[in-house]
């Protein structure tokens, strides 16, 4: 063996390895050029924020620039730029666990003083939703979007053709699965290639079977909560549904992030879709005819003998803007005032969102589908509890492996019992 040649081979290996490692890097962000940088989640609703930036730039000396990041890599990129010292001035988030690490590192601007100086900001939002933007009793986020409960959407045309009614009970769901299978329609669209879509089933089943407290115990840091019988029962129901063909055959390669699952519903290839309320705006953007004429929606039904309240809601209370504290935050604070301005709220309503501002109810008539908007508003108003999506409520190091375990459960790569053991072992 000739040593220097060995070194060269090793260097080649290392070089290729470094190149690969950098492939996961999210790139860098411009800052320090006098522009206020806003990092935004890129989807069909971001048009509301685009308009806000435009208005802000017209009426202020400061300039805001919005950087939109694709949904799938959003949190990874945020984490990378925050860690690299090139943090945006302001960014979109889910509150809760999604910003906790930044709060711990004292990277965010506490907004308590801002709210005191601007009482109209304090009064603009539904108190419980503003409250959800707090970490350790300090405000770190201001709501920027509508409320996002999860619910069952369905294709009215497909239901009519099959001569069936939308589901009101769990038994209805069982019957509908059989009916649609006979009709050659996939009963439920499911974007299993983006496993957070699988997670929604787990969330609602557990909430209905065992109630709000089952997951709350886990979210509070007690992983023994995974051993609650409701979790195992939900896991068994999921595998029964999978084996029964409730999600068709190819759910594991359908993506919920690129609109494939929603397209299945709009096309009539699938009858129902359990999704967040943003499904309505997604359909409005991608299949407007369908969204206006044939898109139905119902709440997730109660489970027989379930202990959970049938009106309890799972989803995201809303999304928040947080400001990174680099000493120069005036423009960002000024921008926050956009999120409850009349134009902004009107934009939200027109794009199918149900705002979290206190005066929103009377504006719902302007929604593309006022019935849907009122349905969603009432759903959130009447819910005894609003469970934040599990992947947002838990720290990332637990949430990601948990979602993968749920994916494996759906793909029958683990049994329900193994699933419970695996998630209980996460820490």
Partner 1 sequence: MVLVVYLSLTTWGGLGVPQFTGLSNWIRLVGDPVAHRAILLTLILTGGSWALQTPIALLLGVWASGRQRNRAVLSAIFFVPLLLSSAAIAIIWRALLDPNFGPLTTIGPLIGMPGLDFLSSETGAFGVILFVSAWQFIPLHTLLYQGGARQIPESLYQAAEIDGAGRYRAFWHITLPQLRNTITTSSVLMVVGSLTYFDTVLIITGGGPGHATTIVPYLMYEAGFQNYQFGYASAVACVLVAFATLASLLMVRFTGFGKMRSTREGM
42/57 with CB nearer partner 1: 42
Contact 77, 100 (CB under 8 A): no
CB atoms closer than 10 angstroms to residue 234: 26
Please state the closest distance from residue 357 (CB atom) to partner 1, in A: 32
Please state the closest distance from residue 13 (CB atom) to partner 1, in A: 4
104/365 with CB nearer partner 1: 104
Contact 231, 177 (CB under 8 A): no
Please state the closest distance from residue 2 (CB atom) to partner 1, in A: 5
Binding site for partner 1 (CB under 8 A): 1-2, 5-6, 9-10, 12-14, 16-17, 19-21, 23-24, 26, 76, 79-80, 82-83, 101-102, 104-105, 107, 192-195, 249-254, 260, 263-264, 269, 396-397, 400-401, 404, 407-408, 411, 413
Please state the closest distance from residue 83 (CB atom) to partner 1, in A: 4
43/400 with CB nearer partner 1: 400
Please state the closest distance from residue 380 (CB atom) to partner 1, in A: 30
Please state the closest distance from residue 314 (CB atom) to partner 1, in A: 23
Question: What b/e sequence results for 212-230 when a residue is b if at least 16 CB atoms lie within 10 Å of its CB, and e otherwise?
Answer: bbbbbbbbeeeeebbebeb
Ramachandran bin of 153, using left for φ above 0, alpha for ψ from -120 to 50, beta for the remaining angles: beta
188/377 with CB nearer partner 1: 188
16/113 with CB nearer partner 1: 16
79/346 with CB nearer partner 1: 79
């Amino acid at each position: 063996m000739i040593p220097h040649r060995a070194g060269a081979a090793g260097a080649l290996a290392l070089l290729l390895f470094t190149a690969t490692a950098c492939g996961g890097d999210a790139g860098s962000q411009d800052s320090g050029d006098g522009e206020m940088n806003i990092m935004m989640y890129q989807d069909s609703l971001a048009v509301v924020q685009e308009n806000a930036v435009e208005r802000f730039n017209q009426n202020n000396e400061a300039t805001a620039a919005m950087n939109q990041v694709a949904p799938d890599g959003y949190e990874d990129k945020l984490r990378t730029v925050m860690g690299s010292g090139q943090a945006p001035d302001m960014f979109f988030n889910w509150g809760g666990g999604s910003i906790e690490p930044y709060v711990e590192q004292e990277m965010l601007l506490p907004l308590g003083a801002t709210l005191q100086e601007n009482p109209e900001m304090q009064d603009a939002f539904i108190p419980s939703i503003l409250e959800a933007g707090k970490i350790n009793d300090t405000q770190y986020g201001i709501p920027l979007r509508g409320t996002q409960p999860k619910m069952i959407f369905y294709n009215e045309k497909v239901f009519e053709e099959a001569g069936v009614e939308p589901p009101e009970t769990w038994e209805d769901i069982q019957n509908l699965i059989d009916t649609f299978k006979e009709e050659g329609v996939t009963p439920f669209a499911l974007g299993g290639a983006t496993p957070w879509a699988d997670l929604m089933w787990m969330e609602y089943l557990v909430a209905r079977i065992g109630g709000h407290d089952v997951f709350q115990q886990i979210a509070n840091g007690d992983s023994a909560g995974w051993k609650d019988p409701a979790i195992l029962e939900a896991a068994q129901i999921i595998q029964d549904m999978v084996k029964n063909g409730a999600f068709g055959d190819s759910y594991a390669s359908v993506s919920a992030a690129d609109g494939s699952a929603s397209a299945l519903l709009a096309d009539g290839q699938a009858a129902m879709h359990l999704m967040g309320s943003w499904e309505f705006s997604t359909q409005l953007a991608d299949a407007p005819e369908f969204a206006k004429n044939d898109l139905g929606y119902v709440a997730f039904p109660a489970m027989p003998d379930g202990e959970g309240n049938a009106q309890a809601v799972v989803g995201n209370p809303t999304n928040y803007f947080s400001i990174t504290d680099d000493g120069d935050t005036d423009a960002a604070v000024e921008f926050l005032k956009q999120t409850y301005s009349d134009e902004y709220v009107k934009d939200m309503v027109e794009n199918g969102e149900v705002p979290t501002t206190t005066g929103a109810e009377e504006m719902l008539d302007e929604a593309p589908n006022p019935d849907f908007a009122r349905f969603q508003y009432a759903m959130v108003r009447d819910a005894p509890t609003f469970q934040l999506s599990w992947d947002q409520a838990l720290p990332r190091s637990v949430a990601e492996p948990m979602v993968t375990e749920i994916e494996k459960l759906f793909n029958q790569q683990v049994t329900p019992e193994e699933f419970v053991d695996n998630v209980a072992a996460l820490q």
